[in-house]
C-alpha cells in the first residue's frame, strides 16, 4: 500500500475513483495577527497552571498519546510513530517546522505536576505555500481534562505572544472532522489549503 499526499482536489478525486482510500483530509488554517481579536477564554481551572515548555519528552509524549484515543479522528495517523522520537525532534527544532518559539509555547500541568495539555509554536521556514511566519505543529489536551477551556487558553496565549512579537500570521493544520476547528475559527483562523492523504495499492 502506498500513501499519496496531494493538495490537488482533482487528483484526489481521481485516486479515490480508482479505488483509493482516504484516511485523512486536513486543512491548513491561518489567522491574520494584524487584525486578530482574541475571544475571552476565562481562567485556568483550579489546580492547573500554565508553564513554559520544557524538554520533558517522556511526559509530553505520554500526555499527547492520552489526548488522541481510539475514535478520535487523528488516532490512525499516529500508528507506528515513535512519539518520544517525534517530540524529541520537534522540541530540538530538527523537523520541517523549524525551531520552537519559547515565548508562545506552553504546557498545562495539574496539581500533581503532570502535563495535561500543551501547545507548541515554531518558526516555520518560508516555502512556496508559507511566508515564514509562526506555526502551531502541536496542540493537545488529555482526554480527562478536555472541555474545561484549556485548549482555548493555550491558543489565546500563542496568539497574544505572536502579536506582541509583531508577527503577521499564525498557522496550523487540523483534520477534517476534528471539533477543535471550531475553536480555531473563534480566534479568526481560516482555511487556505487542503491536504488529502490517500492510500492506494502499490504499482507492480
How many Cα atoms are found within 13 Å in the side-chain-facing hemisphere of 60?
A: 25
User: How many Cα atoms occupy the beta-carbon half-sphere of 113 within 13 Å?
Assistant: 2
Query: What architecture (CATH level 2) is domain 28-191?
Result: 3-Layer(aba) Sandwich (3.40)
Model-level pTM? Answer: 0.91
Cα distance between residue 53 and residue 146, in whole Å: 19
Residue 203, pLDDT > 70, answer no
Residues 113-130 have a mean pLDDT of 96
Q: What is the mean pLDDT of residues 139-166?
A: 95
Task: Please write the tens of the pLDDT for every residue from 47-75.
Answer: 999 999 976 778 899 999 999 988 888 88
pLDDT at 204 over 70: no
Q: Could you tell me the pLDDT band of residue 142, with boundaries at 50, 70 and 90?
A: very high
> Please, which pLDDT band fits residue 35 given cuts at 50, 70 and 90?
confident
Amino acid at each position: 500500500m502506498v500513501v499519496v499526499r496531494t493538495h490537488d482536489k482533482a487528483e484526489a478525486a481521481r485516486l479515490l475513483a480508482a479505488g483509493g482510500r482516504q484516511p485523512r483530509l486536513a486543512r491548513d488554517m491561518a489567522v491574520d495577527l494584524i487584525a486578530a481579536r482574541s475571544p475571552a477564554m476565562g481562567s485556568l481551572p483550579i489546580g492547573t497552571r500554565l508553564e513554559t515548555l520544557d524538554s520533558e519528552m517522556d511526559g509530553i509524549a505520554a500526555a499527547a498519546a492520552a489526548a488522541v484515543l481510539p475514535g478520535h479522528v487523528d488516532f490512525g495517523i499516529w500508528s507506528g510513530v515513535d512519539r518520544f522520537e517525534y517530540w524529541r525532534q520537534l522540541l530540538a527544532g530538527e523537523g520541517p517546522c523549524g525551531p520552537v518559539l519559547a515565548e508562545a509555547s506552553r504546557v498545562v500541568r495539574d496539581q500533581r505536576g503532570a502535563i495535561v495539555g500543551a501547545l507548541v509554536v515554531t518558526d516555520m521556514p518560508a516555502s512556496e505555500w508559507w511566508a515564514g511566519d509562526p506555526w502551531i505543529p502541536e496542540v493537545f489536551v488529555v482526554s480527562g481534562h478536555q472541555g474545561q477551556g484549556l485548549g482555548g487558553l493555550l491558543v489565546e496565549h500563542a496568539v497574544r505572544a505572536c502579536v506582541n512579537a509583531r508577527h503577521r500570521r499564525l498557522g496550523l493544520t487540523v483534520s477534517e472532522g476534528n471539533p477543535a476547528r471550531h475553536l480555531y475559527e473563534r480566534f479568526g483562523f481560516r482555511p487556505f489549503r487542503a491536504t488529502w492523504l490517500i492510500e492506494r495499492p502499490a504499482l507492480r
